[in-house]
Amino acid sequence: MDAEADKNKPYLLEVIACSVEDAVNAEKGGADRLEVISDLESGGYTPTLDLVREIQSAVQLPLIVMLREEEGYGLNEITAVERSCCIADALNKMQIQGVVLGFLRAGGIDVELTRKILACAPDLEATFHHAFEDVPDKTVAIERLKSLKQIVRVLSHGGIGTRAERAARLGEYAEAAMPEIRILAGGGIDLNMIEMLRRTTRIREFHVGRAARFEGKVDAELVAALARGVRGLHA
């Protein structure tokens, strides 16, 4: 994929929503897509299907939904996988845009488990979430993810270091992932980071959680400021 082709791709802002109120405010602020989760403070878990339905009825935005079982409650690995498969099937029937998941084994991408769960939602696309950060060889991880045709994006914050160092890594990931996979920049992303990534990389999608929130809730004005930055209106 060449740089000229990239120019025609839209810039997108994805906002985390934990409630109907979050979703409505994100839409008012100009978000392009919502990631629906529960328990933001714990990194996000699978929300209830009722919440997904309520948000789906309240807004017109595309929804992607977290598939990550909460630890505890007597769940073993087999039970957790079975639950994830059931939820994936239900979400597939709800005709949302996609799911968010991330499974690792022995320090690498668990391709077989990921494929098994995605097979339960064959009509949905998928984002591989921040579990990607725990894989030591990002290039190998990206190549393995390319074997899973439903995986269309990988969420990454670019690791540790300065803003410039993180941006450089994200740019490298984006180049390695093209054209099958897009890098979704997120995790401590703020307006300054968004503007740097726009200037220095071919990344087109940005994911925000706390940067869009005031006193724990999504704030439409904060989303609007981020949306303007994503679209280059602050450049």
pLDDT tens digit sequence for 35-89 = 999 999 888 899 999 999 999 999 999 999 999 986 644 445 667 788 899 999 9
pLDDT in the model for residue 4: 47
pLDDT in the model for residue 1: 42
pLDDT tens digit sequence for 144-154 = 999 999 999 99
Q: Is the dihedral of CA 3, 4, 5, 11 positive or negative?
A: positive
Whether the predicted pLDDT of 223 surpasses 60: yes
| Domains of the chain from N-terminus onward | 3-230 (3.20.20.380)
Q: What CA–CA distance (Å, rounded) separates 101 from 127?
A: 6
Average pLDDT over residues 109-117: 95
DSSP character for 32? S
pLDDT in the model for residue 49: 97
pLDDT in the model for residue 74: 43
pLDDT in the model for residue 7: 56
| Average pLDDT taken over every residue of the chain | 92
Q: What CA–CA distance (Å, rounded) separates 119 from 121?
A: 5
Q: Which amino acid type is present at position 234?
A: H
SS3 232: coil
DSSP character for 45? B
pLDDT tens digit sequence for 3-31 = 444 556 789 999 999 999 999 999 999 99
For 129-150, give one letter per residue: b (16+ CB within 10 A) or e: bbbbbebeebeebbebbeebeb
Nearest by Cα to 224 from 7, 15, 10, 4: 15
